[in-house]
Amino acid sequence: MLWTLAARDLLFVGVTLGVWRLDAAVRGGDGALPVVLGLAAGVLATIAGYLAHEWGHLSAALAGRSVVHLPERVASVFLFNYDISRNDRRQFLLMSCGGFVASALVIALFLLVLPLDTLAGRVTLALTLLGVAATFILEIPPAWRVYRGGSMPTGVAYRSD
């Protein structure tokens, strides 16, 4: 299933790059098409950034020999579920940091490569900033709590098998 998920996400990135090329080709033109493609390119790039964030988590989890559960379906929202009953604090923190590092790299890439003076670039930047805010709200507090000696989080992304 891991290779299937990787192929799915690489295909998604390929589609995203294709939409960005189309956006560049029609940018500045008249009508709704440039607006629609600009919005689509921005949304797709942001989703690709989210996928990179999730792959950062998974890569770090696997590097730390964490027990994870891959989804049974390719259409799953989560790339994996983290098994909190079979992993220790160090493994959890490593898994958490993997997503944070991947996000930082994606943001740097976006800032260096994307034309931020375009609709697609501005949409990507705005949605990425929302994603960063979500990370600060949803992911950093549990990681900080675990780092400080608290219990591992529970919820939809975590399993206890």
Name the residue ranges covered by the structural domains of the chain.
Answer: 2-159
For residue 113 the two structure tokens come to 């490569």
Band (59; pLDDT cuts 50, 70, 90):
very high
Name the pTM for this structure: 0.91
Distances (CA, A) of 44 to 11, 98, 128: 12, 22, 11
Residue corresponding to tokens 């670039």: 121
Band (78; pLDDT cuts 50, 70, 90):
confident
- Given strand 68-69, what is the order of strands in its sheet? 68-69, 81-83, 158-159
Q: What is the mean pLDDT of residues 61-71?
A: 94
Q: What residues have CB less than 8 Å from 130, skipping those under 6 apart?
A: none
